[in-house]
Amino acid sequence: MPVITMPARKCGKSFSHAEHLEIGLLNALFDAGHPMSVSDLEMKLRCTRRDLFRAITAQYRLGNVRKGQPVELTNSGHIAVAAGRYAGAVAVAA
């Protein structure tokens, strides 16, 4: 029997591969609690370097990460991830 895979959905919205990677990038940096090298992020997220750099650039434009070596969350990025996790926990509890 074939296995049917569905894209992740949240409130009726489908996330693209790039969005999954950006979310994973922010979560990896938040969980680590310290700046991470590109190689470490590449291994943790299991993605190509090109896709990783696109995710880093997208989040840099939003002001969530600092580009360079190593990559790190900005203060606003840290607050955004914490707020998102808190909102998720409150929604589950309700």
Q: Does residue 70 form part of some domain?
A: yes
Q: Does residue 41 form part of some domain?
A: yes
Q: Does residue 12 form part of some domain?
A: no
pLDDT digits (tens, 9 = 90+) for 25-71: 999 999 999 999 999 999 999 999 999 999 999 999 999 999 888 99
Q: Is the pLDDT of residue 85 over 90?
A: no
Residue 52, domain extent: 17-93
For 10-23, give the secondary structure using H, E and C: ECCEECCHHHHHHH
Number of domains in the chain: 1
The enclosing domain of 39 has a CATH number of 1.10.10.10
Q: Does residue 37 form part of some domain?
A: yes
Q: Does residue 2 form part of some domain?
A: no
